[in-house]
Homo-oligomer: A and B are copies of this chain.
């Protein structure tokens, strides 16, 4: 029921008339109401409203509930009808390297060292630049908006460029400036990288969309002093610290050989690396003792099932980490090792992989996979008070997903379909911080044609630098 009052009546009421019935209050005007379809909130009670609605004012969710109730209470200046769709919190990609979309499919199906040394490292050495980062991030942002990712954690070079592009595209980014021991495109030394990281933090520390972070690449690519300096910088500004940890078995063995038997997790703990808001990527080879450390230090983890499978890295002990209460989010990893940024596939493969590995089809049920891609990802990034669920007071980051096609028919359970049959291409609406970035699959903040064209042109320079691997 929708009641429209004239200004005169409203004034009369405000002047002292008794309002006996709540429904008689005129609906409040807000900036955006998303209404119809099934709203899967992922709030603490895991409420689902069908049909449901979300009222948004500015960058904040003001109410979530049954569609009829929201219609009575709010009128949106902008309205989006999501009938036949499912509305969920925007997906949070907890680990990627956005500009690496420019290397997707350049080399696959190779032993790790050959892949890195003959393709990825040479391609990066010859083509990473401020321009490459800008072009690649625009392409990644387009793909993320189109596939329902509203926030992402990144680590790459020229991260300030990633911050600017991400902000312009309207996405939320938790962006880490890379610190690495050897000379790279944006810094000749780790000291220089730390200076860059501090400048980057200062540029974005008060931004509404960008959370700047410090991202030492990995314990095996930085010395102890650099890792500790990165930790100190993150602590000084209260920003996240992001790193790759225990991605491969050789990494663990090398750590144990170099560090008096300590695993990468134990080593990082021993040098005081695990302060507040640390995000560890992959953590494939984690012992029970490692898990205990991660839990004690409240380290968040990004799980990247597609990358771990394609690169044959191994299987992270995700059910054990979840049981321990660790915040495990989901990531796609960079598109050079996946080869896309579709978080629906990350959800599906997280469920598939851990069912298989445990021999138990009950492992990582669909609801858990959805939590990992939303509220758990937010927790892993220290943003659970701002994003990760549809609740009044949180930032308005949401997507709507079509359930109308043959692949989604019939529909018995929305959460099952979100995880087991949906793809990024089913996303119809993407809203971040209250701003509509995509509507009816039309991206509003990027010019799709020019983004694709500049990426194709740039790819010529990648081909010139490194011949694509034969297939």
A contact set with B: CB distance below 8 Å:
101-102, 104-106, 108-112, 115, 139, 142-143, 146-147, 306, 308-312, 314-315, 338-342, 349, 351-353, 355-356, 358-363, 365-367, 404-407, 409-413, 415-417, 420-421, 423-425, 448, 451-452, 455-456, 458-459, 462-463, 468-469, 471
Q: Is the CB of B452 within 8 A of A311?
A: no
A412–B309 touching, CB < 8 Å: no
| CB contact under 8 A between A409 and B452, given known A356-B309, A423-B423 | yes
**Copy count, this protein chain:** 2
The chain B residue sitting closest to A145, CB to CB, is B406
Bound-state CA distance A463–B314 (Å) is: 40
Interface pair A456/B409, CB less than 8 Å apart: yes
Smallest Cβ-Cβ distance to A352: which chain B residue: B309
Is the pair B409, A312 in contact by a Cβ cutoff of 8 Å?
A: no
Are A355 and B312 within 8 A (Cβ)? yes
**A140 shortest CB reach to chain B, Å:** 8
With A409-B455, A459-B412 known as contacts, the answer to whether A310 contacts B361 (CB < 8 A) is yes
Given contacts A410-B458, A412-B459, A468-B412, contact A420 B362 (CB under 8 A): no
A405–B456 alpha-carbon span in the complex (Å): 11
Top 5 A-B pairs ranked by shortest CB distance?
A410-B459, A109-B365, A309-B352, A105-B416, A412-B468
Query: Please, how many angstroms separate the alpha-carbon atoms of A256 and B341 in the complex?
Result: 45
The complex places the Cα of A355 from the Cα of B112 at a distance, in Å, of 12
Interface centre among A102, A109, A363, A404 (most CB of B within 10 A): A109
CB neighbours of A407 from chain B (8 A): 143, 146-147, 340-342, 424
- Taking CB as reference atom, which chain B residue is nearest A359? B312
Question: Which chain B positions have C-beta within 8 A of A105?
Answer: 410-413, 416-417, 420-421
Q: Closest residue of chain B to A458, judged by CB?
A: B410
With a CB–CB cut-off of 8 A, which chain B residues contact A456?
Answer: 409-411
Whether B310 and A355, one on each chain, are in contact in the complex, defined by CB atoms closer than 8 angstroms, is yes
Q: How far is the CA of A109 from the CA of B355 in the complex (A)?
A: 9
Contact of A406 among B106, B451, B469 (CB under 8 A): B451
When distances are taken between beta carbons in the complex, the residues of chain B under 8 Å from A143 are: 406-407
A355 to B306, CA, bound (A): 11
Q: How far is the CA of A322 from the CA of B416 in the complex (A)?
A: 34
Q: Residue on B with the closest CB to A311?
A: B361
